[in-house]
Structure formats: C-alpha cells, structure tokens
Amino acid sequence: MLAKARQAQPSNSRENFIDNDTKSADANVSITRDGYGHATVYKLTPTGCVRIAIAVQSIGSVLSTPGYAPECFDCGRDDCLYVTQVRGEVSTNECEAKAARPYRACPVRSCRKPIYDSAPTGKFLSDEFDHSGRVIEGAIDDDEYNTSTPASRTKAAMDLHLIGFHPQEAMEMGIQKPRELPRMELVN
C-alpha cells in the first residue's frame, strides 16, 4: 500500500455544476479538482471496524497510528465491506469473522434506509470514554438498566429516523417525539 502511494500520479476531475443561480444566469459552470486520489484503510472505532477513504499522501502517517490498518481488523481481508463509509461503496453487513448485525429497514417505501444495531461486533476500540469495566465501591449492580436488546435499540433509532426524516408517516404510525425534559430557567 505504501509503494502504491509513492507511485500515485496526480489526477484531476471535472464536473458540471448546476444550481438555481447558474440556471437563472444561463451560465455554464464546472468544478475541477486536482490531487492524488484516495486509498482505503480500516479504522477501529468504539462500534467496530469501519472502512474509510483517506488521501493517498497521508497513508504513511495514518497507518503508523494505532487503530488504523490496511486490512479489516476482524477477517484480515483488504476488500471487506462489512461497514464502509467510502463514497460509492455499499456496506454488505457480511464479514467472514463475525455475525451480521441485526437491522431494521425504514418502512417508508421511498426510503428503505437500514438502521443497524449500535452494539459493537468483533474487535472495537475501547477509548477514554469507555467506563464499562469501572467498579464503583458500594454501587448496586443488579442489571436493572441493562435491558436493551438489538430489537429495542433499532426500534428507538428507527423512531428517531422517522420523526426526523418522515414526520407525516411518523404521525400516521403514532410515533411521537419524546417528551422534553424540564429546563432550568433563571428568574430574577
């Protein structure tokens, strides 16, 4: 990957730009981009391994940073599309080393966006904000708040998606915005 990056040749792209202003002015506008292109790497996040695109010139410094690799952290392949954020690629939810994440598809026919379970699968990054292993002296440990399931997590995320992107359909389905917590007010 480093050798490919060293041999990368400059490239440019040109595309037409059309918006209301250019239409009303009857102008022919184009955008030109120059650069060396992108390379794909895998990033370890608190929710698992994600495929991302980075600038070719940055490949050396990115791969020397912990949490980045040229291949999937779980299956070791460089073409794993389990979760990808690379423009033009579609996540497959399939990786040889781990089970597929549960998901729901948006019930709005024109959308059908998949909403995946947020629980990590496979290897994931444990960062400074992860306090799951912290033991607090004298605390009650009764699993009272550990009742979330893939079904409940994806339902909550889907409800928020419907409220935000499809408010009319959400009203038809009886899904309402969660009640707001009381706010503090300063009274003089």
Rounded to two decimals, the pTM is: 0.65
Given this model, what pLDDT does residue 1 score?
67
Q: Where are the domains of the chain?
A: 36-99, 101-118+149-178
Given this model, what pLDDT does residue 57 score?
82
Given this model, what pLDDT does residue 5 score?
65
Is-contact 82 132, C-beta < 8 A?
Answer: no
At a CB cut-off of 8 Å and minimum separation 6, what does 154 contact? 102, 103, 104, 115, 116, 117
Using DSSP's 3-state secondary structure scheme, residue 2 falls into: helix
Q: How far is Cα 153 from Cα 118, in angstroms, rounded to an integer? A: 7
Q: How far is Cα 183 from Cα 73, in angstroms, rounded to an integer? A: 44
Consecutive 10-residue averages of pLDDT for the chain (188 residues): 66 81 86 77 90 88 91 92 89 88 94 89 76 74 78 94 95 87 78
* Helices and strands, counts by H and E, the chain: 5, 7
Using DSSP's 3-state secondary structure scheme, residue 156 falls into: helix
